[in-house]
Amino acid sequence: MRAFGRSAYGTGRVSRQRVSIALVVDASPDRAFSAEDLAALVRLDDPGIGLATVYRALAAMESSGFIEPVGERNGAVVYARCVDAGHHHHVVCTCCGMVEDAECPVGGTSAGANGFRITGHRLVLYGICPSCQRAAPEPGDEPGRGRFRVRPASRRAG
């Protein structure tokens, strides 16, 4: 197997399954997705793909920088495709899960206050996308349309 997939996984072999998975992820650059979401989509083409395979691919894509975890939905981690090449972040619609790359507003801090040597950071912006804003009656209310609510990662239900 060749071509696409190489870039998504960085290193390692590129199996038929990994190509399918990478293609689906590549085709959904503006939507946060969970392992189950991804599996469901991939199964449209390859019904026999196993969840474990998806999880393993997810881990590989994350460490290669092809995707990044951006929150959770019902206790499951949701990821976003990293469209931009370099260092960047994501804005996630907490209502529908829409995602867009965002520039990194964090600067200078790499100097490190209090003697810390800063090695990195994780930032995710949350908001309401244009589409969901339109659907929301009261600006300020959490729109009720989305079936993909994303929440800042940390714990399960509430």
Partner DNA sequence: TTAGTTGCAAATCGTTTGCATAATT
Partner DNA sequence: AATTATGCAAACGATTTGCAACTAA
Binding site for a second copy (CB under 8 A): 59, 62, 69, 77, 91, 93-94, 100, 102-103, 105-109, 112-130, 133, 139, 152-155, 158
The least distance separating DNA from the CB of residue 154, rounded to whole angstroms, comes to: 8
The least distance separating a second copy from the CB of residue 45, rounded to whole angstroms, comes to: 25
Burial degree of 121 (CB within 10 A; 0-12, 13-18, 19+):
exposed
Using the CB atoms, write b or e for 7-24: b if 16+ within 10 Å: ebbeeeebeebbbbbbbb
- Tell me the pairing of strands 99-102 and 89-93: antiparallel
What, of a second copy, DNA, none, does residue 75 touch, CB below 5 to 8 Å by kind? DNA
What, of DNA, a second copy, none, does residue 87 touch, CB below 5 to 8 Å by kind? none
Asked if residue 15 binds DNA (CB under 7 A), the reply is yes
Using the CB atoms, write b or e for 35-61: b if 16+ within 10 Å: bebbbebbbeeeeebeeebbeebbebb
Please give the residues from 76 up to 105 whose contact with DNA meets the rule CB under 7 A.
76-77
Site map for DNA, 23-62, x if CB under 7 A? -----------xxx---------x-xxxxxx-xxx-xx--
Asked if residue 123 binds DNA (CB under 7 A), the reply is no
Which of residues 42 and 124 has its CB atom nearest to a second copy in the complex? 124
Q: Assign 9 to helix, strand or coil.
A: helix
Cα 61 to chain centroid distance, Å, stands at: 11
The least distance separating DNA from the CB of residue 50, rounded to whole angstroms, comes to: 3
Please name the amino acid found at residue 38: L
